[in-house]
Each structure stands twice: as structure tokens, then as C-alpha cells.
């Protein structure tokens, strides 16, 4: 009987039956990580201003411009709905402290935890041979293990509140890109972890959603330290690596120089993306996967699925359109 009910429930979801928007307001709490800039900052502001929810915006650095803007929102109304807390996903004690503050907030108000949005992440460009062990491990520890640590710490509370988990992943989780091997590995791992978690938590009435927002590297600070990271890579080169990669390495990082430097936080004005996020957050039966992408991404993603590996590799290089080792050797 249980198996039959599960099948009927799955079929209803496939047909889109029971999809409806839940009402949200100040009593519903959403916790968003990675709010210093970029997508996380924008989602926190959107939940606060457009959805009128109580928002816990987690920032790595409370002195950052993004965190300071969020802190100023805390005094905008009598019922404090914006809470900006420090969170370091690499420090277990920071996660424990956040958990305690969240429990205290829920216990002292009539609020209900509605969602955890795992958005925080870091990125480092460079061929795998170039990237330092510390750079590789930092991406794994923050993007993957840090997200897992936070989710595991909060899971009993999330389960008690029947809150949902929205994991922000990446197109790199579906198709790895050269010069982003460790980053892509973390996002692919998050994708399959998300799928397993979704199945595990279904019996407890919880939703787990994979949210793929497209590329916001130019609108965020995820790659703000790219030139510093490049300098560290260069300094670690052996004489042989420097002679072999020198001109390619220089052309590659000159091309990426636009990514470096910390940018002012801004609220994304992409209404289609925000509409998809709202559905993931507030639909009674959300989709398991939301993908937001321009047509160029959509066409390439479709071609990646259909083509054999040699053609896929060629398409990936066309998609990235970055300096290549071959092109620098010819010039």
C-alpha cells in the first residue's frame, strides 16, 4: 500500500497536480548563505522587500559593503525582518553558533523556518596543474563540505519545521569546463548530493531543490581574488612549467583580468530568474530542478547531451571562448 501511494504521489507531481503558491510574509523565515555580494545578496533583498519575509542573510565578512547594506535594513521597520549574521563555512564553530542563534530566534518569535538556501561558494580559474593544493582544497571545503556541514547541523531543525532546502549549483555541475576543474567537481558533487538528499527527506515532508541560476561571475565577487590567485600559481611554477606554459599562462590571466577586484553589491533585475526562485521557494510542490539560462547556454547544454565526447570537447572549447594553449603557441 505504501509503495502504491508513493507511486501515485510521484505521478501527480510529474503531471503538475497540486502545484500552488504558499502564502508568505513576516512569519516565514528564509536563511540565505553567501550574501556579501552577487546572487546571495540579491536573493536576500528580494525575499525581504518583495516577499516581505524574515530573512537571515549570512555573510562571510560583516564589514563588506553588502553586509553593511543588509545591516542597515534591520532598522527599517518595527518588526525586525532582516538579520545579518556572520558565517564562515570553513569553521565548524561558526556553524554551531549560527544554529544556536537560529534556534533562539525561532523560540522567541512566532516565526517558522521555511527554507535554507545554500548559495555560498568560491571559485578559482586555472588549469588543474596550475592550481595550488590550498586553492583546490579551499573550493572543496567551502562549496561542498561547508554546505554539507551547515545542512547537517541544521537538519533536525529543518525537519521539525518541515522547511525546504534550495541548493544553488551551476551549469558546471552538468558539463565540466576547462580551467574550472575543482570548481566543477564541487558543483557536480553538490548536484548528486542534492538528489540523494531529496529522496531521503521525502518521507519527512521536506523538499530539496536544485537551483541553477546561470553565470553571475561578473556581477559577484566570487572571482574577485583571481589575479592574486594567478600570482600565487605563477610563483609556485617550476622552471620547466614556466618555460612551457609562460605565454599561455600570461594570455589566459590577462583575459580574466576583468574578473578581479571587489565590486559593489547590486540587486539583480532579472525578473525571470527571481520568478523561478520564488516558485522554488513558495510552491507547495516545487520542481526538483530549476535552470535559468540565456539561449546560448540552453543550445550548448542541449548539444552537450547529444554529442559524443570528441565533439562535446570541441563544443566546450567553443562555448568557453578563452585563450588556448595552441593559440598562444602559434602567435
For residue range 263-284, what is the model confidence (pLDDT) as tens digits? 677 767 789 999 999 999 999 9
Q: What is the pLDDT of residue 267?
A: 66
| pLDDT over threshold 70, residue 177 | yes
> Please, what is the end-to-end C-alpha distance for the chain in angstroms?
69
Q: How far is CA 41 from CA 54, 297, 307, in A?
A: 14, 24, 37
In a domain, 11, yes or no: no
- Domain annotation covers residue 4: no
Reading the block at residue 32, the C-alpha cell is: 540565505
**17 CA to centre of own chain:** 29
Within a domain: 229: no
In this model, does residue 108 exceed pLDDT 80?
A: yes
- Predicted pLDDT of residue 222: 74
Asked if pLDDT for residue 78 goes beyond 60, the answer is no
When the pLDDT of each residue in the chain is averaged and rounded to a whole number, the result is 91
Give domain status of residue 205, yes or no: yes
Query: Cα(164)–Cα(125) distance, rounded to whole angstroms?
Result: 32
Q: Residue 160 above 60 pLDDT?
A: yes
Residue 239 placed within a domain: no
243 belongs to a structural domain: no
Distance (Å, whole) CA 160 – CA 203: 13
Can you tell me the mean pLDDT for 117-142?
97
How many domains is the chain partitioned into structurally?
1
Query: What pTM was computed for the model?
Result: 0.92
Separation of alpha carbons 170 and 155, rounded Å = 23
User: Using CA of residue 156, residue 154, residue 101, residue 32, what is the dihedral sign?
Assistant: negative
Category of 118 on φ-ψ map: left (φ > 0), alpha (ψ -120 to 50) or beta: beta
Reply yes or no on whether the pLDDT at 10 is more than 90: no
Q: What CATH number corresponds to the domain at position 115?
A: 3.40.50.720
pLDDT of 3 strictly over 60: yes
pLDDT reported for residue 220: 66
pLDDT of residue 263: 67
**Containing structural domain, residue 200:** 21-223+262-293
Residue 304 lies in a domain: no
pLDDT at 218: 62
Residue 71 covered by a domain: yes
CA pair distance 57, 35, nearest whole angstrom: 6
Q: pLDDT by residue (tens digit) across 180-231?
A: 999 999 999 999 999 999 999 999 999 999 999 987 666 667 777 888 999 9
Amino acid at each position: 500500500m505504501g509503495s502504491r501511494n508513493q507511486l501515485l504521489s510521484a505521478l501527480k507531481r510529474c503531471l503538475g497536480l497540486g502545484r500552488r503558491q504558499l502564502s508568505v510574509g513576516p512569519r516565514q523565515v528564509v536563511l540565505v548563505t553567501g550574501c556579501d555580494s552577487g546572487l546571495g545578496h540579491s536573493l536576500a533583498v528580494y525575499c525581504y522587500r518583495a516577499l516581505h519575509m524574515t530573512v537571515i542573510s549570512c555573510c562571510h565578512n560583516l564589514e563588506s559593503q553588502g553586509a553593511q547594506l543588509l545591516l542597515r535594513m534591520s532598522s527599517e521597520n518595527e518588526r525586525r525582518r532582516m538579520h545579518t549574521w556572520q558565517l564562515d563555512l570553513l569553521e565548524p564553530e561558526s556553524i554551531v553558533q549560527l544554529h544556536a542563534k537560529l534556534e533562539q530566534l525561532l523560540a522567541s518569535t512566532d516565526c517558522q523556518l521555511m527554507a535554507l538556501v545554500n548559495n555560498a561558494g568560491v571559485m578559482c580559474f586555472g588549469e588543474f596543474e596550475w592550481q595550488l593544493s590550498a586553492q583546490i582544497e579551499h573550493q572543496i571545503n567551502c562549496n561542498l563540505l561547508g554546505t554539507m556541514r551547515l545542512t547537517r547541523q541544521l537538519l533536525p531543525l529543518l525537519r521539525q519545521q518541515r522547511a525546504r532546502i534550495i541548493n544553488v549549483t551551476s551549469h558546471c555541475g552538468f558539463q565540466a569546463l576547462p580551467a574550472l576543474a575543482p570548481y566543477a567537481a564541487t558543483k557536480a558533487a553538490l548536484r548528486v548530493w542534492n538528489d540523494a538528499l531529496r529522496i531521503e527527506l521525502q518521507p519527512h515532508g521536506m523538499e530539496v531543490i536544485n537551483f541553477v541560476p546561470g553565470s553571475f561571475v561578473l556581477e559577484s565577487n566570487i572571482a574577485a581574488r583571481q589575479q592574486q590567485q594567478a600570482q600565487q600559481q605563477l610563483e609556485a611554477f617550476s622552471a620547466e612549467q614556466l618555460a612551457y606554459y609562460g605565454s599561455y599562462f600570461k594570455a589566459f590571466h590577462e583575459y580574466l583580468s576583468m574578473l578581479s577586484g571587489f565590486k559593489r553589491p547590486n540587486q539583480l533585475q532579472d525578473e525571470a530568474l527571481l520568478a523561478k526562485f520564488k516558485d522554488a521557494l513558495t510552491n507547495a510542490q516545487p520542481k526538483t530542478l530549476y535552470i535559468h539560462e540565456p539561449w546560448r547556454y540552453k543550445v550548448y547544454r542541449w548539444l552537450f547531451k547529444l554529442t559524443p565526447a570528441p565533439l562535446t570537447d570541441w563544443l566546450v572549447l567553443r562555448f568557453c571562448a578563452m585563450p588556448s594553449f595552441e593559440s598562444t603557441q602559434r602567435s
